[in-house]
Structure 1
């Protein structure tokens, strides 16, 4: 078959409210997910047996975190789909890891979800969307939302995904301080803070910048700062950038995002920050603001 290439975008939480905690320890969320146009790249091609290659800027970091071979969530997704559909996994997969690891961008979840949809197309499967979503959830809480990388209101532990309309700038810059931050550590700090859970926000026809900035927060920000205090300085720097509309932590961090009205403003900001903070990872991009199929 013809080789197939897909982009596994970064997931960005425009807001993230924690609304409760289940008896099994999973936190319930109310969040607005958006996705970038760029991201990691997933490649598929025919093979005599199954094989997996990991390369790219952050391949080494992913290997050090246990994400090589069978420890990679994308590999687990491939084996799961093959087993559930009785397919021979005779394919070579390659992951070009462009996004940082343990960064609050859902990179592993996006890689796995992209693999599930790509491999389904590769094999010509016509899976029921609910069945595919159930397989995705078995791999991780963020994986179901990443199956359809378009704006979504996400609830439950991540399995309740509702498309939403946005009226806001699409130009974004992601900024990572070059230090990983493990999600379990941030949630542990959150639990120790005794912070009260948030109420679920009402549904609105369209989410715009004013509403997001006024009525929402990232409820994990204080916990992330407790784990990595330098995030506070980074957020202050981003908020003060010329043309910045909104600067926030994404997910559990440490990556932050800043929204701009134009690609030019994002590019100028990235060039300026690159000179001043050479250790930071900077990713100017655009958001996928359409609602998808």
Structure 2
């Protein structure tokens, strides 16, 4: 029986996101503090004797992907790119357990692509240097390099510049998506007449001992895409208000280009109560009480075969 390999694809959260400029080629320059959570997708795979690559998608969020060409999935694109680059002698049967909503601002597809790169490098015993991995990741999408890095960092440029930071504490956090996708290009188009934020908003090597101290520091920053996003999808405001009014919420903010928002809470019990209360009132929303991954909690997660339900 062939061995089964697994990689987690944790949700990416933009704790703040500033648009700092625009290149001549139309790409926007960003600066964002990024962390990852204990909620995410899971990618598994087994080796094949031939050079074929297959991908099956399961899980609670698989249905929206069923109508798409499987070859357009970022997992398949990452696998084919690695295969073209390195010409491994074996193929792979891949299974994506899709738990994160798609087009939701928490890097689901990008996290899946990064997991595919890690998984296939392990399966095919590929020894690629950092520059090659970065080039492959960026060619798949602006968020793939930061998801491949997988640790707390400041992401800048168009996503390719990563400044590693000290771990954040395992702060309780609630992720909520209203069940509707928003188009990132439309959001950037909607803010076309707005100015740009200055760079250097985050003081590099800060360390935090509590959710309150982190939330206080984040209050000096924001998400420059929130206003245009809420103009396109007003339900984002409903999510932000639902998070903010629950007891213990220290900060409520949209992640990335939305529509997923997050709330930072003082304690795990407050986060879980908030998630339960909001879910009762909004049964159609995707809601996940979780926590920020630190080195310790990341190691604990890697011991298990998958994220906890």
Which TM-score applies when normalising by structure 1? 0.93
Q: How does 1:12-23 map to 2 (within 5 A)?
A: 12-23=13-24
Contact 2:215 2:251 in 1 (8 A): no
Alignment of 1:196 onto 2:226: no
Q: Which residue of 1 aligns with 2:230?
A: 225
Q: How does 1:81-96 map to 2 (within 5 A)?
A: 81-88=82-89, 90-96=91-97
Provide the C-alpha distance between the structure 1 equivalents of 2:22 and 2:89, rounded to a whole number of angstroms. Answer: 39
Q: How many residues align?
A: 289
Residues 167 and 8 (structure 1), Cα distance of their counterparts in 2 relative to 1, 3 Å cut: closer
What's the RMSD between the two structures over aligned residues? 1.8
Q: Which residue of 1 aligns with 2:58?
A: 55
Q: How does 1:31-46 map to 2 (within 5 A)?
A: 31-46=32-47
Q: How does 1:229-244 map to 2 (within 5 A)?
A: 229-244=234-249
**Residue 62 of structure 1: CA displacement?**
2.2
**Residue 89 of structure 1: CA displacement?**
5.0
Name the SS of the counterpart of 2:45 in structure 1: strand
Contact 1:169 1:260 in 2 (8 A): no
**Residue 287 of structure 1: CA displacement?**
1.0
**Residue 214 of structure 1: CA displacement?**
2.8
Provide the C-alpha distance between the structure 2 equivalents of 1:167 and 1:104, rounded to a whole number of angstroms. Answer: 20
Q: Which runs of at least 4 in structure 1 moved beyond 4 Å after TM superposition?
A: 166-169
**Residue 245 of structure 1: CA displacement?**
1.3
**For residues 55-92 of structure 1, what are the alpha-carbon distances to aligned partners after superposition, in whole Å with 9 as ceiling and x for unaligned?**
2111111234x3x4101011000000011011145210
Residues 160 and 51 (structure 1), Cα distance of their counterparts in 2 relative to 1, 3 Å cut: same
Unaligned runs of at least 5 residues, structure 2: 209-213, 300-309
Name the SS of the counterpart of 1:74 in structure 2: helix
Contact 1:14 1:212 in 2 (8 A): no
2:260 to 255, 260, 267: 255
Q: How does 1:94-133 map to 2 (within 5 A)?
A: 94-133=95-134
Which TM-score applies when normalising by structure 2? 0.89
Contact 2:151 2:167 in 1 (8 A): no
Contact 2:168 2:292 in 1 (8 A): no
**For residues 192-232 of structure 1, what are the alpha-carbon distances to aligned partners after superposition, in whole Å with 9 as ceiling and x for unaligned?**
xx111000025432165255333200010001011111211
Q: How does 1:133-148 map to 2 (within 5 A)?
A: 133-148=134-149
